[in-house]
Structure 1
Amino acid sequence: MIARLAGAVALLYALGFLWFAAALPLPAGGQPTDVIVVLTGGAGRIDRGLALLAKGKARALLVTGVDPEVKPREFAAEYRVPGKTMDCCVTLGFAAVDTRGNAAETASWIAANRYRSLRLVTTDWHMRRAAGELASALPPGVTIVRDAVPSRPRLGILFLEYNKLLASTLARLWPQGK
């Protein structure tokens, strides 16, 4: 009985991983949102967020998880962001050091500014976990549009991220101390 149960769990795990790896999220369509939120840490994320902002897909952009040593003028120079755009529309968030921190920082910014919709920009392999953490941290009624940056992840990255997704999902389903 225990062997069958263990086998069933292993099969579910393997099938889940195959789905996770084979069906990575895609870039979103062109629908506008109030804001764009970019999680740092992967190639192409910030560039995609800035391009969407320049195309008018949102009126503001939060880059969460920025290294505290980065100065806004350095960010603007590196990504060729005009000063006018930095002043009106780009917020650099320095509080987050991980995905859960990105979600908390974003939720605070969203609530403080009373935004109702956001476009989440992160790498395809990271999208499911990031969106889950964000959805659990956001105030009720905020719409998330998932806009994945395509990548070519190594098997090891996929395996690690799949396990992190399972762990974060279980942690949200069964929070400690309850």
Structure 2
Amino acid sequence: PINPYGETKLIGEWMMADCERAWGLRWAGLRYFNVAGSGWDDLGDMATLNLIPMVLDRLSRGQAPKIFGTDYPTPDGTCIRDYIHVRDLAVAHIAALDYLAGGGTMAEHVFNVGTGRGSSVREVVSKVIASTGLNIEPEELDRRAGDPPQLIGDAERIGRVLGWKADHDLDDIVTSAFTSWQADPNRKSFD
């Protein structure tokens, strides 16, 4: 792991493996990437802790979204991340539970839940801005400490073992996030 967050997830997997050895616990570890979007308008992510809700929040307040770091060794200079739609994540959980309930042997316990494709921060911010119909340029700031240039999930194992693959793309994620943001009566509209 490259950061404390990833380290805590790995420790959790070690603990599950210890429980398996000690008590025969059947388990699957799902490693999420950047979960975003909304399954339904009334279940949107309203916490401004992730990129898409942060951009929507700033835009709804008439402020420019922020991009941290434009000098990474990536095609457009911004970080690249694998975004996974929350509905795809839910289906991955069901696939893992079905596999465990069906008696499948778990030679491989840990699965990346991602698309295997990356989107740059600039690309995501641009799509969110476009979804609102606003014409605003993002503010470009220095890098944040600890941000790796690229994090993309290899979803080969989850496809092979659990038969799962992501069905939604970045456009679906942004559209669902925007419509759920608009549907929240506590949110300011976009002017």
- Shorter chain as denominator, the TM-score bin is under 0.3
Q: Which has the higher contact order (CA 8 A, sep 6+)?
A: 2
**Taking structure 1 as the reference length, what is the TM-score of the superposition?**
0.27
Higher helix share: 1
**Taking structure 2 as the reference length, what is the TM-score of the superposition?**
0.25
